[in-house]
Structure 1
């Protein structure tokens, strides 16, 4: 079952983010606090949205999708950028990941959004195979760039 996250889900979303960071071999990079997640998802000006996948039998959360809107100047409409998709290892293979992506695709279609995009680590071959089985295509002609930490501060405040 997939449902929209509520403020009461913040502890589990935070835990799932931490588990995802461990899986991606970067736990030191996951610094978001529960308060930050709450503000981003449920504050005065929400910047992101989340859906929770629950076990069909127990109702316990087993995964999540956290996403936000992007905009295509070429298409002239919004799309969804999927920041995180994670299903706990013991719940994988039961359709939770597909159900989360299906819900996001449904939102795109219902709202007239023309893109659902995300990034995946090159070494994560199980996820790549899963995404391609759904019809997703890699955007090989693009390279992601990122400014963080000291580089971002230097560019943003060169004084």
Structure 2
């Protein structure tokens, strides 16, 4: 059984462990101070909001949403920025439940769209994403 709820201060240790795993997955390094600030923002619910998934009382995943205005929508959009489920329990419904939590939160805020991106080689995630959302024809560009 998967339970999804808003992230709280009591989730800090579990979230930091999963955040480190998430960064390892994407071969990224960020300062600890950044993670600390992010977690604090998530527990405040602004500018980001977050949910965790629990199974048998253990936090096994998280998702972060970033609501923002849009020039194409009077109500704004929600960017699903981070989604991670512990590798040992993937394909058990936590990812879908976390996505649904973001969708419901966005809907409750009156936002007109939830969107996200992933690495094109992330086949495990893409199997789920292809079931719950529409693959966009847009190409992602960035400048670092």
TM-score by length of 1: 0.79
Q: Which residue of structure 2 aligns with residue 35 of structure 1? A: 36
Provide the aligned C-alpha RMSD in A: 1.9
Q: Which residue of structure 1 aligns with residue 23 of structure 2? A: 21
In the alignment, the residues of structure 1 paired with residue 86 and residue 39 of structure 2 have an alpha-carbon distance, to the nearest angstrom, of: 21
Alignment map for 1:36-55 (pairs within 5 Å):
36-42=37-43, 46-55=46-55
Decide whether the 8 Å contact of 2:67 with 2:106 is kept in 1.
no
Structure with greater proportional strand content: 2
Q: Deviations over 1:107-130 (max 9, x none)?
A: 222332111111100111221121
**Gaps spanning 5+ residues in structure 2: where?**
none
Decide whether the 8 Å contact of 1:17 with 1:30 is kept in 2.
no
In the alignment, the residues of structure 2 paired with residue 67 and residue 111 of structure 1 have an alpha-carbon distance, to the nearest angstrom, of: 12
**Gaps spanning 5+ residues in structure 1: where?**
148-159
TM-score by length of 2: 0.86
In the alignment, the residues of structure 2 paired with residue 32 and residue 139 of structure 1 have an alpha-carbon distance, to the nearest angstrom, of: 34
Decide whether the 8 Å contact of 1:18 with 1:30 is kept in 2.
no
Q: Which has the higher contact order (CA 8 A, sep 6+)?
A: 2
In the alignment, the residues of structure 2 paired with residue 38 and residue 141 of structure 1 have an alpha-carbon distance, to the nearest angstrom, of: 31
Q: Which residue of structure 1 aligns with residue 138 of structure 2? A: 141
By how many angstroms is 1:32 displaced?
4.3
The 3-state SS of whatever aligns with 2:73 is: coil
- Count of equivalent residues: 141
* Bigger radius of gyration among the two: 1
